[in-house]
Structure 1
């Protein structure tokens, strides 16, 4: 697992990179505020459910949550399930909103 700051992530997105970004918060949190990442709650990942992202196993997967704790756990889980390159967003959506407001990805 690697780490990425919200500034680094935004810079990569602004440069036009096509990234696989995963939001591991719960559906109600996602509905309240999200940056447009694919939602796959940590509770599903803990059940080894990777439906919708199995084709990302050989790609970089950038994972975020509210503050960076659940995404760190999600990265470790994904690695045990064969995902080769996971990246944790330090500070999560709280840091993103503090720096960029409600800016969406893509």
Structure 2
């Protein structure tokens, strides 16, 4: 897992052709807005979260965020343990996100 600030995350994401954005927040949080093209997998739904993560290709780069950066850091660590090589946590999470948003 690599911890990236807003600028690093956005810059790296823009030039990564192998990128997948994961939003690990709850459905209610996602309803308040999200980063475009993000796939939502709620980390609080532990069993469902693990099942969905296991379906993901391990050769992609995963840019992961939550509300504040704590749950996404946890998701990154779990994915690293499952054999994912490229996981990037958005420091500060969606609360501090200054980039494009969809509501």
Aligned partners of 2:55, 2:9: CA distance in 1, in Å?
Answer: 20
- Alignment coverage as a number of residue pairs: 98
> Which residue in the other structure is 1:104 paired with?
101
Aligned partners of 2:7, 2:55: CA distance in 1, in Å?
Answer: 25
Poorly superposed stretches of 4+, deviation over 3 Å: 15-18
Q: Which SS does the other structure have where 1:42 is aligned?
A: coil
Question: CA RMSD, aligned part only?
Answer: 2.2
Query: Structure 2: 5+ residue runs without aligned partners?
Result: none
Query: Structure 1: 5+ residue runs without aligned partners?
Result: none
2:33–2:101 CA contact under 8 A, matched in 1: no
Specify whether residues 27 and 52 from structure 1 end up closer, same or farther in structure 2 by C-alpha distance, changes over 3 A only.
farther
